[in-house]
Amino acid sequence: GVPAVLDGCSCCPVCARQRGESCSALLPCDESSGLYCERGHDDGGASGICMVLEGDNCVFDGMIYRNGETFQPSCKYQCTCRDGQIGCLPRCNLDLLLPGPDCPFPRKVEVPGECCEKWVCDPTDDVILGGFAMAAFRQEATLGIDVSDSSANCIEQTTEWSACSKSCGMGFSTRVTNRNQQCEMVKQTRLCMMRPCENEEPSDKKGKKCIRTKKSLKAVRFEYKNCTSVQMYKPRYCGLCNDGRCCTPHNTKTIQVEFRCPHGKVVKKPMMLINTCVCHSNCPQSNNAFFQPLELTSSEVKI
């Protein structure tokens, strides 16, 4: 009922010694259970007892926590000690569940008697977006850890890219991530084009119901807000289905595309390139209902 391991000569399989059992070079401990052989001094260290390999303790705000111990430094966070390192996860979901497009100027307020803050919508546009950057670790929650060191205890959180805002033509998709030095939740935006708007009718070529992925036959320049890409590309597009299913990107990558705008201005924008598409029946009712227009002045927009 215990794992078989090779003896100290790497010759014969033996039963791995368990916690509290005697061990030696020929009778190794069960390392898969985190055991090691604590050698004695009586026989020159030839034999010993299998002991649990204890990880380093953690010190947090003057308190010592054992390896594997979970604790809550405040009602907003739950932390775990892992071999001397502390990782924390937010217990409030506000940082990931961002307000929707109908709330363009969100603001978090404290609710009396409750730990987690709640979103409120500011009806005016005199709120500066950058004023509400969401830190996954705030100074009051890290209990004494300096803000400049917040990245040391930062648990990376990145959502998947959302669906493209347009089923044809140039649109955009978004995601939320705290992959930065400040460990702040920021919304990133990239351009995307699932397919050109011409030839929207599905092809009946060879009786196929769906054409998943098709590559542009000729090199094209991308257009965005009266700007044209400097380079030409042969992008892949998602096809169309004549059986009611949807065809959407499955595997994508993000590249930086350089656009030349009127008056000689040149800007770089992150843009999705499609590798593969997939056909499915989980079709959104209206993609545009889930997005709000954003001025793509930067690939990162702090909320």
* pLDDT reported for residue 221: 92
> What domain count does the chain have?
3
* pLDDT reported for residue 225: 85
228 Cβ contact list (under 8 Å, min separation 6): 221, 222, 259, 260
Residues 11 and 79 in one domain: no
Q: Is residue 287 part of a domain?
A: no
Residues 96 and 192 in one domain: no
Q: Which residues of the chain have pLDDT under 50?
A: 96, 124-149, 286-303
Residues 268 and 256 in one domain: yes
* pLDDT reported for residue 139: 35
Residues 276 and 185 in one domain: yes
Q: Is residue 285 part of a domain?
A: no
Q: Is residue 71 part of a domain?
A: yes
DSSP structure string for 101-152: TT-SSEEEE--TT-SS-EEEE-SSS-S-GGGG-EESS-TTTTTT--GGGGGG
Residues 265 and 174 in one domain: yes
Q: Is residue 297 part of a domain?
A: no
Residues 24 and 62 in one domain: no
* pLDDT reported for residue 123: 58
pTM of the complete model: 0.46
Residues 48 and 59 in one domain: no
Residues 251 and 189 in one domain: yes
- pLDDT tens digits, residue range 136-179? 443 333 343 344 445 556 777 888 888 888 888 899 888 888 88
Residues 10 and 97 in one domain: no
* pLDDT reported for residue 270: 93
* pLDDT reported for residue 125: 42
Domain with residue 247: its CATH number is 2.10.90
Domain that holds residue 8: 4-52
* pLDDT reported for residue 37: 86
Domain boundary among 68, 83, 111: 111
Q: Is residue 240 part of a domain?
A: yes
* pLDDT reported for residue 272: 93
